[in-house]
Structure 1
Amino acid sequence: MGRPPNLYSFTDVDKELAPNLRKYVLEQQNEALKRHGVFRVAISGGSLPKTLAKALLALPSGSEEDKVEFDKWEIFYADERCVPLTHEDSNHKLVQEELLNKIPKEMPQPKVFTVDEQYLDNAQEMADDYEKKLVSVFAARDSVKLPLFDLILLGCGPDGHTCSLFPDHPLLRETDAWVLSISDSPKPPPKRITLSLPVVLHGSKIGFVATGGGKKDILKKIFETEEGSELPCGLVNKGAGEKVSWFCDSAATEGVSFPKRGSVM
């Protein structure tokens, strides 16, 4: 077994967690731009976009390393709901309201890959269409087994789910498809699409954001129990090890005995 994931714990979300998350994201951005001139990131919904916006929209320090180069970003969705892009349940609407609409108009804008609304009634067709978008960006299907995101940013549900991968669901056993459909989500809305677990594990870096006292029980389970290691978030920890970094506040990590770090090096 490789090295374990990194668990960061901060007393204050705005003053400590957000600046450290910014440093982490921009490290991945700068590495990606050196490698291939573009930064490909997959983003989930929930409370993540709000914290991410606090991190990315903060005033830069002036150093080259601290510059958000949105014009080189390609943003994908780690999961999405089969609803119109203007619907309250849409992850895109959430990211748009919390982050995209707040990027100053004079700044170059990122390229965003949304789901196609013509497939709202058929989750499988929507998943197939979104997978085709990934194939067109990451390479022809026959030459690349899995898309390689530079960074995947995720949340953690109170049941240990991430993306739209839920505990004990058959989708966790999928090994070939890049994008999966789900029509029986235990959390509404029932019809969704999601990146598959192998795609998540293949990411260059994977970051979780989990804050608030409501997360402490599930984090304790994920980091300290065998049962928790089989939950979707636990499977990411187990499968990707040191590629994974958790950004949490002290309320979420209260009582968690797994070694915690106080800042991104």
Structure 2
Amino acid sequence: MTKQPSLYAFPDNPTLQQNLYHYILQAQADALTRHQKFKIAVSGGSLPKLLASPDLLASSDIHWDKWEIFFADERAVPLTHPDSNYALLEQEFLSKIPKTAPQPTVYPINPEKLSDTEDLADAYEQSLIASFAAKDSVKLPIFDLVLLGCGPDGHTCSLFPGHVLLREEVAWVAAIEDSPKPPPRRITLTLPVVTHALKIAFVATGAGKKEVLRRIFDTQPETEGGEVLPCALVNLGAGEKVSWFCDHAAVEGVSFSKKSSL
């Protein structure tokens, strides 16, 4: 994969949301042409709120009943806990889908497995296997779309800089017991699963992201012997399949070529 990711910069959140909606609409159309389902993975943070745009929620072109929503990562907490990505997605996005519309299928973690993070990860991997490999054995699941955030340290999902999990090549879902960001116990999609997706979209907004975006886009640590941040590893591994949706504040000072529309 040699072609570069696309870096989009928009003047404000409403414009970003409009473009993200059209991107998702195209990803849905591509998916329904292939297999009549739209299989996506979603992370937490500010993403669910930005995802819940008026365009998306009111669109007659969104086929909610075809959506299968998985979590790019999740915290080992009850589904009603403030730290739960499921609770966040429910509050900021799922609860806003019109009740008259068919509802998406959502795959939360199994709350009965919370006491053992490895069991929690294994059970979630089985959910993926049931959806992606029900008939055939596959090495990796192929998500139609993975929607990700970017932490100020360059982490994405629960894949943190310098962590041993970045080298995981076999598991689809991995447990992490020592997250540098609380809560420490989590599960996450592994890097090969993320980069194997057909489309990957990062959403990063605000001036607090400009330093890490400069590191991700404007440095070449892989040739300089430095550390490659997890977000940059996704860029390297998935290339042109990756699109970044940012506001102007987040990309201030970033030299990498930027686009203003899809």
8 Å contact 2:48–2:88 — kept in the other structure?
Answer: yes
CA shift digits 1:101-153 (9 cap, x unpaired): 11111011000000000111111000000000100110159720000000000
After TM superposition, the structure 1 = structure 2 runs for residues 223-242 of structure 1, keeping only pairs within 5 Å, are 223-227=217-221, 230-242=228-240
Relative to the length of structure 1, the TM-score reads 0.94
Aligned partner of 1:13 in structure 2 is 13
Task: Decide which moves more: 134-143 or 197-206.
Answer: 134-143
SS for the counterpart of 2:127 is helix
After TM superposition, the structure 1 = structure 2 runs for residues 181-260 of structure 1, keeping only pairs within 5 Å, are 181-227=175-221, 230-260=228-258
Cα distance in 2 for residues equivalent to 1:156 and 1:126: 24
8 Å contact 2:21–2:56 — kept in the other structure?
Answer: no
CA shift digits 1:72-107 (9 cap, x unpaired): 000000000000000000000000001101111101
8 Å contact 1:161–1:232 — kept in the other structure?
Answer: yes
Aligned partner of 2:44 in structure 1 is 45
Cα distance in 2 for residues equivalent to 1:197 and 1:23: 26
Q: Which amino acid aligns with 1:11?
A: P
Aligned partner of 2:4 in structure 1 is 4
SS for the counterpart of 1:221 is helix
Q: Which amino acid aligns with 1:177?
A: A
Q: Which amino acid aligns with 1:240?
A: A
Question: How far 1:56 sits from its partner (Å)?
Answer: 5.3
Unaligned stretches of 5+ residues in structure 1: none
Cα pair distance change 1:235/1:50, threshold 3 Å:
same
**Number of paired residues?**
258
Give the alignment's Cα RMSD to 1 decimal: 1.4
Question: How far 1:2 sits from its partner (Å)?
Answer: 1.5
Unaligned stretches of 5+ residues in structure 2: none
Relative to the length of structure 2, the TM-score reads 0.96
Cα distance in 1 for residues equivalent to 2:203 and 2:135: 31
Task: Decide which moves more: 226-235 or 16-25.
Answer: 226-235
Cα pair distance change 1:222/1:141, threshold 3 Å:
farther
Question: How far 1:31 sits from its partner (Å)?
Answer: 0.6
Cα distance in 2 for residues equivalent to 1:122 and 1:179: 14
1:134 and 2:125 are equivalent in the alignment? no
Cα pair distance change 1:74/1:214, threshold 3 Å:
same
2:261 to 250, 255, 263: 263
Question: How far 1:12 sits from its partner (Å)?
Answer: 1.0
Cα distance in 2 for residues equivalent to 1:11 and 1:196: 33
1:112 and 2:106 are equivalent in the alignment? yes
Cα distance in 2 for residues equivalent to 1:98 and 1:88: 12
8 Å contact 1:5–1:242 — kept in the other structure?
Answer: yes
Cα distance in 2 for residues equivalent to 1:78 and 1:128: 14
1:89 to 66, 83, 86: 83
Identity %: 60
SS for the counterpart of 2:188 is strand
Cα distance in 2 for residues equivalent to 1:117 and 1:55: 32
Aligned partner of 1:74 in structure 2 is 68
CA shift digits 1:138-180 (9 cap, x unpaired): 0159720000000000000000000000000000000000000
1:159 and 2:121 are equivalent in the alignment? no
Question: How far 1:59 sits from its partner (Å)?
Answer: 3.6
Question: How far 1:193 sits from its partner (Å)?
Answer: 0.1
| Runs (4+) off by over 3 Å | 55-60
Aligned partner of 2:22 in structure 1 is 23
Task: Decide which moves more: 229-238 or 244-253.
Answer: 229-238
